[in-house]
Structure 1
Amino acid sequence: MTATYPDLEGASVFITGGGSGIGAALTDGFLAQGARVAFVQRSDASAFADAMEAKHGNRPLFLPCDVTDIPRLKACVAEAAAAHGPITVMVNNAANDQRHDTLQVDEAFWDWSQAINLKSYFFGCQAVIPGMQAAGGGSIINFSSISYMMGGAGYPAYTAANSGINGLTRSLAREFGPDRIRVNALAPGWVLTQKQKDMWVTEEALAGHLARQCLKEPLVEEDIVGGVLFLASESSRMMTGQALVIDGGVAVTG
């Protein structure tokens, strides 16, 4: 940890996909700030919750949930708020970047991809906003990706959702700014989670990607945590409707 945000101590935080990959690093990071964290995960994350409790003395609330099941997602938001108080930080992190061939995609695959990568974000935001309004404000962080910025081939349904997340973020920022609800997107580069290593990382692919980065080191999960904590905290209190890129300098924006 390189920074402490006192306003995050005791904050009620909700993270989708918070038990593995980048999400697990986020749960760890918020717990280190003293936040009360609830997270949803489709796979069993009980052992991870045990490990976090042992590390921090502060157990995250693990709620089993497939984010494509919108009634269950909404129920988890309500359960988290009942346990920890109104949610004032929401991180939409869960995603699936399954590779696919454009000419082979059918309606079922398209709908599945949008359900995970975009629809769940909208309804997750919808579920937490009333509590944030009642609490006098909050911060929503929607994970996107640099893949749509770079025109990445091999997963157009995913990149379409990523681009849609930016539009969603900007519209919600405009609509709910008067309620002191900030909505920002965060676009990571290629973070070498265990899933990425197992499924997509090859020596050739990684070398090609690092050649495009200004900073010649692979990104790891912890590289994303600082940006999320900043967006969640009052340190970014006048920042909304923006997309923060953490990618080692592939998509040089501005």
Structure 2
Amino acid sequence: MTALRQIDPATLARYPSLEGRSVFITGGGSGIGAALVAAFARQRARVAFIDIAQEASRALVQGLVDEGLPAPWWEVCDVRDIAALQSAIARAAVDIGDFSVLVNNVASDDRHTMESVTVDYWDQRMAINQRPTFFAIQAVVPGMKRRGGGSVINLGSSGWQLKQGGYPCYAVAKSSVNGLTRGLAAPLGAHRIRINTVTPGWVMTERQLKLNLDAKSEQALREAQVLPDLLQSEDIARMVLFLASDDGAMCSAQEFKVDGGWM
């Protein structure tokens, strides 16, 4: 694979409105989620996240502390357990304040065929890729109302829009993100709570590089994108920061694609 371009966090935009704000991120221990945690921490936001990956989460927190940043609040949490998810959000809010920002990032795009799907497997895929988005929103909205507004950012997917096979359950779950964003925009907007979807293209996380990218798929991706560089997690974080900040104050009910012109 061609070497990824270097991204210097010090060159990225600074959003003064994010300083001191409380941010909750699901699946923040690795991949795109880790880039989101780091990006908000570097904006001097008060960051909380959950993940099931203990080792990666500890390493992320230690790395940020080594940068001279405050340690994010974090807990191990399996988002399939909605009671545990909402309890973690409640505990984090007690410790760092009602949340101004929620980023629904957690997902798992494990490959599977239509023929192999059982009812139990279907339910497990929805329990990771669909349910937590709604119930995390449900948990943070009362605090956002108390604060007089907020920003919810749901991570979507380009996979179902490109009509790709290989993960029908994931496609169903992720396609519903856009519906949830649109369906909640009006009732949340009445309280100055904005809600948007950020849809990444194929992001070169460690997982994707290890499991899914090969020379053939990389060539096809480069031919499909209009930009020559491969996407990185930090590229997604840039858009999320904008939507979380006051700079995105009049953006709601929208889908923002960050895909190098793939779609």
Q: Aligned partners of 2:68, 2:173: CA distance in 1, in Å?
A: 35
Q: Structure 2 counterpart of 1:71, which letter?
A: A
Q: Aligned partners of 2:123, 2:179: CA distance in 1, in Å?
A: 19
1:92 aligns with 2:97: no
Give the conservation status (yes or no) of the 8 Å contact 1:31–1:56: no
Q: Equivalent residue of 2:256, what SS?
A: strand
Q: Equivalent residue of 1:146, what SS?
A: coil
- Structure 1 residue runs of 4 or more that deviate by more than 4 Å after TM superposition: none
Q: Equivalent residue of 2:67, what SS?
A: helix
Give the conservation status (yes or no) of the 8 Å contact 1:12–1:89: yes
1:80 aligns with 2:92: yes
Distance apart, 1:56 and its partner CA: 3.5
Q: 2:239 aligns with which of 220, 227, 231?
A: 227
Task: Provide closer, same or farther for how the CA distance between residues 47 and 30 of structure 1 changes in structure 2, counting only shifts above 3 A.
Answer: same
1:12 aligns with 2:26: no
Q: Deviations over 1:67-100 (max 9, x none)?
A: 1111110011011111111011000001000111
> How many residues of Structure 1 are paired with residues of Structure 2 in the alignment?
251
Q: 1:193 maps to what in 2?
A: 205
Structure 1: where are the runs of 5+ without partners? none
Quote the sequence identity (%).
Answer: 44
Structure 2: where are the runs of 5+ without partners? 1-8
Q: Deviations over 1:188-237 (max 9, x none)?
A: 00001001111111111111111100002111111111100001011111
Q: 1:34 aligns with which of 25, 38, 44?
A: 44
1:53 aligns with 2:28: no
Q: Structure 1 counterpart of 2:186, which letter?
A: R
Q: 2:129 maps to what in 1?
A: 117
Q: 2:163 maps to what in 1?
A: 151
Q: 1:108 maps to what in 2?
A: 120
TM-score (norm 2): 0.94
Task: Provide closer, same or farther for how the CA distance between residues 140 and 205 of structure 1 changes in structure 2, counting only shifts above 3 A.
Answer: same
Matches within 5 A, 1:214-253: 214-251=226-263
Q: Deviations over 1:169-195 (max 9, x none)?
A: 111111110000000000000001001
Q: Aligned partners of 2:72, 2:83: CA distance in 1, in Å?
A: 22
Q: Aligned partners of 2:60, 2:42: CA distance in 1, in Å?
A: 15
Give the conservation status (yes or no) of the 8 Å contact 1:52–1:58: yes
Q: Structure 2 counterpart of 1:26, which letter?
A: L
